[in-house]
Amino acid sequence: MQRINVFDTTLRDGEQSAGVNLNFEEKIEIAKQLERLGVDIIEAGFPASSQGDFNSVKAIADTVRGSSVTGLSRSLQKEIDISWDALKGGAEPRLHVFIATSPIHMTHKLKMTPDQVVEAAVDSVKYASQRFPHVQWSAEDACRSDLDFLVRIVEKVIDAGASVINIPDTVGYITPQEIGHIFSYLKHNVPNIDKAKLSAHCHDDLGMAVANSLAAIENGAEQVECTINGIGERAGNASLEEIAVALKIRGDFYQAETGLKLNEIKRTSTLVSKLTGMAVPNNKAVVGDNAFAHESGIHQDGVLKEKTTYEIITPELVGVSSNRMVLGKHSGRHAFKEKVKELGYTATEEQIKKVFKEFKELADKKKEVTEDDIFALMTEEKIGSAVKYYEVETIQVNYGTTNIPTATITMTNPDGELVQEAATGSGSVEAVYNTLERIINAPIVLKDYRIQSITGGRDALAEVYVKVLFNDVESSGRGTAHDVLEASAKAYVNAVNRILNRKNRSEVAESKVHI
C-alpha cells in the first residue's frame, strides 16, 4: 500500500472561511487535536501576515512534536526570514512557499513574465533551503497553467531544493480526469521528479475537491492537502475525513493509506465545528449526524440482519460513540479527571477543579451526563483561558405573553467591579443583549445568532453562537449552558472579550493569501 502524507491546512486555508477568526487559544487546541489525529503536516498559518499569526504559528511549532509544522510564505526573502523565526523551534520545521504560474495570474496579478516567475521561484527555494530541512513549493493556480511551463518550473525548483511540489486547484475549476492528466504528465515529463513528492490541493467550488484529490492519488500524488470538515475559502477545501475514509474503505481500489488514527475523526470534526462556529450539515459524509442513520424500513431491516447490507462505514471506525452516560453526580474528581484525559485533553489542576465544579452542577440538573457534555464544558474552559474583561455573574429574565420581557444582569467589568443593569426588549434574548450593551456602554451590532443542543433530550446543554461588531471589529463568540438565555449571554460576552483580547495583543487584521 502506498503511504499518503496528510497535509492539514485547517488553521491556514480553513480559517479563511468567511466569518471565521480563531484566536490564539483555539488554534493551539486544534493543533493539539490534529496531532492526536496523526496528521503528518500541520499548516499553522501565514507568519508574515500579522503579529498574531506569527505568535500562534510559533507556539504551535514549539508545542507540537508528533507532526511537522509548516507556515505559508510568498516568494520574498523577508517573509521567509519571518517564517524561519516562527518555525525554527519545531520538531521538523518546513516552509510552504508559493508563486502563481497561470497566464492570468502572471499577467494581471504578478505583472511578471514567465522567465521572471521561474527566477523568483528558484531564488526563493534556494534561499529557504539554506535554513529549512524541508521546503514545499506551490504553483498557485497550477490547474490553469500551461503544462509545459509547469514542467519547466517544477524541474527548476526541485533542482533548487524543493522536496515537495504542490499542485493547487486554486479556484476549484478542474475535473478528476483533467487533474489526473496533470499529475501523470508531470510524473512522465519532469526529469528529476523522483527527487520530490507531488501534492494535491483542491478546492470545492464545483463540488469535486475530494474526487479530484483521489484522482491525483491515482496518478502519482503522494500527499493531499485538506481541511477538517472541508472548511476553507469560498466553497471550501477537500475534506480530510472523506479522503481518509475513502482510502480506508476502498483500499482495494486505491492501494493507498494514511497514517491517521481514524477513530479521532469525529472528535476533531466536533472541535473544529465548535471553535469556528461552522455547523456540520446532518447529511455531511463521514461526520454528519445522519451518516449512520437509516430511515427506510427496508434499510433498517437489512442493517439489523447484517450491517454491511447498507452500512459500509462503521460508526466506531471514525470514533462515533453512543452518548451513553459516562459519569454521574456521585462520580469523584479522580474519575472525572481520567475521563478528561480519555477525551484527549491536557488540563491544569485549576482547570480540572473549575470544570469539575461545573460538571457537578450539571449532574444535578441532568439525568445523564454524556461525553459530549464533558467535551463541551472542557472546550469552553480551555478556549476561555484568555483574559475575561467582562464576566456574567447573575442573570434574571422576566417574560410573559402579556408582559414586556425584562432582563437584569450582574456582571464584572474590566476594573473588577460588579455592575448591575436592567433593560427590556421585544423578546427575552433581545432584553438580555440590550442589558449587556448598557453595561458595556458601547454600541454592539449583533450580526448572527444561532443555537443548538449539545445532545438530545429536554435537559440538553444549549450551545449558542453569535457574531458581533464591536469597536469596528467583527468577532464570533460561543456560550454553553443548561439554560438558553444564560448560553446566549455567555456567547455575547465571549465575542466582546475576544475583540478586547485581540486589541490587547495588538493583533492587526491578517492578510489572506489564497492558493
**pLDDT per position as a tens digit, 193-218:** 999 999 999 999 999 999 999 999 99
Range of the domain at 296: 292-320
Whole-model pTM: value is 0.88
Please indicate, yes or no, whether residues 54 and 156 belong to a single structural domain of this protein.
yes
Residue 462 resides in a domain = yes
Grid coordinates of 174: 478542474
Please indicate, yes or no, whether residues 40 and 169 belong to a single structural domain of this protein.
yes
Grid coordinates of 66: 508528533
Please indicate, yes or no, whether residues 338 and 357 belong to a single structural domain of this protein.
yes
Number of other CB atoms surrounding residue 448 within 10 Å? 12
Grid coordinates of 192: 528529476
Mean pLDDT of 65-82: 98
Residue 500 resides in a domain = yes
Grid coordinates of 382: 480551555
pLDDT in tens, 251-295: 999 999 999 999 999 999 999 998 998 999 999 999 998 888 755
Q: Which residues contact 397 (CB under 8 A, 6 or more apart)?
A: 405, 406, 407, 408, 428, 431, 432, 485
Under the banding of pLDDT at 50, 70 and 90, the label for residue 456 is: confident
Please indicate, yes or no, whether residues 339 and 417 belong to a single structural domain of this protein.
no
Residue 296, pLDDT above cutoff 60: no
Residue 148 identity (one-letter amino acid): D
Residue 232 resides in a domain = yes
Structure confidence at residue 379 (pLDDT): 78
Percent of the chain whose pLDDT exceeds 70:
93
Q: What is the DSSP string of 10-38?
A: TTTTGGGSTT----HHHHHHHHHHHHHHT
Please indicate, yes or no, whether residues 414 and 296 belong to a single structural domain of this protein.
no
Residue 371 resides in a domain = yes
**Phi/psi at 292 (nearest 5 deg)?**
-125, 20
Q: What is the DSSP string of 383-444?
A: HT-S--SSEEEEEEEE--TTS--EEEEEEE-TTS-EEEEEEE-SSHHHHHHHHHHHHHTS-E
Mean pLDDT of 240-251: 98
Average per-residue pLDDT for the chain: 91
Residue 505, pLDDT above cutoff 70: no
Residue 507, pLDDT above cutoff 50: no
Please indicate, yes or no, whether residues 345 and 425 belong to a single structural domain of this protein.
no
Please indicate, yes or no, whether residues 80 and 197 belong to a single structural domain of this protein.
yes
Distance CA 156, CA 159 (A): 5
